[in-house]
Structure 1
């Protein structure tokens, strides 16, 4: 209890009747009860709910602490698919000074929208906090909360392609578009497999294959190729959602349009529980390819010049729908390239990089520590585990559990995220004006100064400047901060430590190191954002302690979102950190 609350309580207590009972076991401004409070559900209450939802209610546990599951947990704890299948775990272990992954009081393994509607009505009557989880990747901790009822959509993971989809309520004769119906519990690898590997079309999803489709879209939803195909939110055509009143609604541009708009980037879990999504699909490009390399400068001055040239090269050759992903800048004067391209042949992609390669070759101040590498592959096999295994490629890692779906793969680099202890996490959209000739040197200097505090990445796919007019128009019709339309990149500056799941052998939560990481992150962020004061942030990848978070996430869209919240969740049944309401 903070000092202000304590003082207020001290002033009120003497005025209460002697028979009044002060309930100290509440949270969320008194909205939710905690165990031990008057009115907290009894075992009989929980059992009654369990019968109503067909026996799909249980008590979630940390499998590392249960003797019956510990051995299996230790064998697979580095597997994101395994972690996602455990209702007592989340993909991130903790966030310094913010939250720690904690099992809920009960979990509903929902199989239908009716299951969820029943649970929402029950929890509202009994003042039990609700938590919604699909993939469990929330950095803000929205995937878990102690003393809550977890609505877990993992089992609702179907993916179905349709050739011609028309939203409900559309005018008679409306022309349908190719689409895919995706269950709220599906991960992006499930959608990529069905739509791309099998179906031969493209769906705009996330870079990490185990991210849940629903939370991704609620937060906005950037993928590796968003400059080409937009965001998850901008490709959403319709959704089935259960609102705070327990109603199951089909929402789109014609039915409950304000709720539909709010679901498109208005913040995960803030307006209802999504049970099904329908996304636009696209013609699949012939090829997707990658670019990698590490280049090092021999002095501070040459490093600034290198960064400035990278920015100019991006502006002139890569800031278009064909290119995405990131470039990392490090304080020891090196740059890591990690870019993707689509819709170009390998020769065309090489030609796009040739001016930069020639610029570097003419200057002895620079050394390729890791050689420049560029390669294309058939786009249909980009998320095809069997293809990678056929050629002995190890950067695609299978779900190694017996009986796991054969298509389940994650990128090898994502394994290090499992259970991580986030020390600090910040993001900032950088406006296109910083690429102009009269500002690019200033930006380069800011990047170099910031990288000396802590290295970081510019994610060019997470800013839509350079996208097509059609992509920008669709993104404009979402709840995200309109600043994203003019941002050429999202800077992500973050720091973290090893997994901190309780029960993990050798686990050590080093808070001294976490404080150092937080300090370095904040100093780096402060130096970079001197050139972009008031920069917006990406809801799904942002600071738990984000200042002025509503303006940062949604900009001028805040009043409209607040109105939708008042209409569809007036009691604040759905509450997440840094969310609307």
Structure 2
């Protein structure tokens, strides 16, 4: 009885202690915040790679105004490659501000407007080794700090920033290696999976494509210069202009090297830590650990034909515009069956110099394993001929044959870098093959699109990057990817924005319209299809179901097993429903921060 009583009391004490433990991250205004000496100790452990951060526009505002530096930085502010390498910047600048406490720092606002830290981290470890990442993870754990992983900062949901946090920047870890016969660690049979590319956490697409070109290989990647492939791209699923041909990026991930919440370096593949392997392929970046390297399957080069299509009508004669869009959309599943992927940009209210107001569709279609432009143009005739017959509609088509896929895909990339440094939020929905092949489905889709406000610079974008091998992989690949992707024909996106310095009320009005009025138009069109977690509404309602469908319950279990304290919390990521929007306080305890 005495032993039982002691055990009961001990268990009770543990429970009380656990319940009373801090459930908010430590912040600079609290005594738990690391001392200067402790920050210096971290700096020593990472060989001097710890840096204190200010927002990049800091020098354009009083009292830290510096005219020459401000002019120089303003000139390169929209260059994505520059933003990639700045710990104090991300690609979409709305995620640098912290509106609830009125903190922002924009190049565009007057010099006299105070510059706040916003959601930019207080410190960054600019990692050059796995050991640097391990030191940062252990330091964050020891001091109960909010931790953020910034790859290139190319993120639409605000996962690369968090206020009053410690950042791990991975952009310098951009090594690239190839193998002709890659054997995953732990493979009992020693069986090779074939040719692969292994990329460091910070390697971005323009670097990877350049390396692939020298080897005569292709990999499933995206179409923006500064997307970090090993980060949120492949961990979130990763759609691609060769998706219909070769599947999703996550379908082709073979192995990950990962630093866990304990600070351990582990290998994750189908032989080791298999639960994490399932989660890393589609479960979301920055959620289960820090990926230091990822190995992806590669394929031999093949020829490709790229077709560019323009469909237009004068605004005064655009009664056939939406029927033309419906006809185009109805043919997308057939294109995907032919290993063709692509994008179509719908601009129903475009101001065009010399013509006034027009309604337009600009499309690019990439057809793999084809070298004959006539063959591709014949493939497009059943789609384009009915559109050409519509009154008031003009159609143009130009096709180009490429001997290799990589130059065809990189031809989509503009200039020497993406233009970023702007304010962007997205609406997003996955549109099924079944809907587009149904008798009234394309019309229902365009009726929904026509209800959205449409401006010159905010197109509706249809990514037809699924079907084909993406669909077939549903029976072959076991991963956390939302099963809705296996039914998807089009990933639909539209954008919303506001001016830098807009009031909190104005911003909230735009966000609320997107979340509560616009997105429901499409979620009601096809209940259960969901959205792509890398390119979706940052305030997506019921994000667990939208992003992962039936996979969420297992993802949450894996998250609790590998990261029970929630060190790796990202906005709208697995387990984030337990925390406030900033990831600073658990919702089970009264918040100490907005």
TM range (shorter): 0.7 to 0.9
**How far apart, in 2, do the equivalents of 1:439 and 1:383 lie?**
34
1:402 maps to none
Write the mapping of 1:5-404 to structure 2, written as runs, cut at 5 A. Answer: 30-66=23-59, 67=66, 69-94=69-94, 102-195=119-212, 197-213=213-229, 214-296=231-313, 302-328=320-346, 330=348, 333-345=359-371, 346-368=373-395, 371-379=396-404, 382=407, 396-398=414-416
Give the unaligned 5+ runs of structure 1.
1-22, 389-393, 399-409, 501-507
Contact 1:311–1:440 (CA under 8 A) maintained in structure 2: no
**How far apart, in 2, do the equivalents of 1:226 and 1:376 lie?**
19
Contact 1:228–1:471 (CA under 8 A) maintained in structure 2: no
Write the mapping of 1:420-435 to structure 2, written as runs, cut at 5 A. Answer: 420-422=422-424, 424-435=425-436
- Residue 396 of structure 1 and its aligned partner are, at CA, apart by 3.5
Contact 1:329–1:447 (CA under 8 A) maintained in structure 2: no
Cα deviation per residue 1:43-100 (whole Å; 9 max; x = unaligned)? 1000011111111111123333233843431232121101111111111100596896
**How far apart, in 2, do the equivalents of 1:429 and 1:380 lie?**
26
**How far apart, in 2, do the equivalents of 1:383 and 1:341 lie?**
10
- Residue 459 of structure 1 and its aligned partner are, at CA, apart by 3.0
**How far apart, in 2, do the equivalents of 1:552 and 1:469 lie?**
18
2:574 maps to 580
What secondary structure is seen at the aligned counterpart in 2 of 1:480? coil
User: Residues 282 and 129 from structure 1, CA distance in 2 versus in 1: closer, same or farther, beyond 3 angstroms?
Assistant: same
**How far apart, in 1, do the equivalents of 2:128 and 2:565 lie?**
26
**How far apart, in 2, do the equivalents of 1:176 and 1:338 lie?**
33
1:550 maps to 544
**How far apart, in 2, do the equivalents of 1:527 and 1:155 lie?**
42
Cα deviation per residue 1:391-441 (whole Å; 9 max; x = unaligned)? xxx97412xxxxxxxxxxx3xxx41xx22112x422111122212343335
What TM-score results when the alignment is normalised by the length of structure 2? Answer: 0.80
1:560 maps to 554
What secondary structure is seen at the aligned counterpart in 1 of 2:81? helix
- Residue 151 of structure 1 and its aligned partner are, at CA, apart by 0.4
What secondary structure is seen at the aligned counterpart in 2 of 1:539? coil
Cα deviation per residue 1:351-381 (whole Å; 9 max; x = unaligned)? 111223322333333224xx33222333355
**How far apart, in 1, do the equivalents of 2:273 and 2:385 lie?**
55
- Residue 512 of structure 1 and its aligned partner are, at CA, apart by 7.3
**How far apart, in 2, do the equivalents of 1:512 and 1:383 lie?**
44
Q: How many residues are matched? A: 518
- Residue 516 of structure 1 and its aligned partner are, at CA, apart by 6.5
**How far apart, in 2, do the equivalents of 1:578 and 1:357 lie?**
40
What TM-score results when the alignment is normalised by the length of structure 1? Answer: 0.82
What secondary structure is seen at the aligned counterpart in 1 of 2:464? helix
Contact 1:294–1:335 (CA under 8 A) maintained in structure 2: yes
Cα deviation per residue 1:225-258 (whole Å; 9 max; x = unaligned)? 2121222211110000000011100110100000
- Residue 481 of structure 1 and its aligned partner are, at CA, apart by 1.0
**How far apart, in 2, do the equivalents of 1:61 and 1:318 lie?**
46
**How far apart, in 2, do the equivalents of 1:337 and 1:380 lie?**
18
**How far apart, in 1, do the equivalents of 2:408 and 2:85 lie?**
21
What secondary structure is seen at the aligned counterpart in 1 of 2:128? coil
Contact 2:332–2:464 (CA under 8 A) maintained in structure 1: no
- Residue 261 of structure 1 and its aligned partner are, at CA, apart by 1.3
**How far apart, in 1, do the equivalents of 2:205 and 2:446 lie?**
37
**How far apart, in 2, do the equivalents of 1:441 and 1:231 lie?**
24
**How far apart, in 2, do the equivalents of 1:373 and 1:222 lie?**
25
Write the mapping of 1:454-469 to structure 2, written as runs, cut at 5 A. Answer: 456-462=459-465, 464-467=466-469
What secondary structure is seen at the aligned counterpart in 2 of 1:293? strand
**How far apart, in 2, do the equivalents of 1:540 and 1:313 lie?**
26
- Residue 300 of structure 1 and its aligned partner are, at CA, apart by 6.3
Contact 1:315–1:435 (CA under 8 A) maintained in structure 2: yes
What secondary structure is seen at the aligned counterpart in 2 of 1:132? strand
- Residue 154 of structure 1 and its aligned partner are, at CA, apart by 0.9
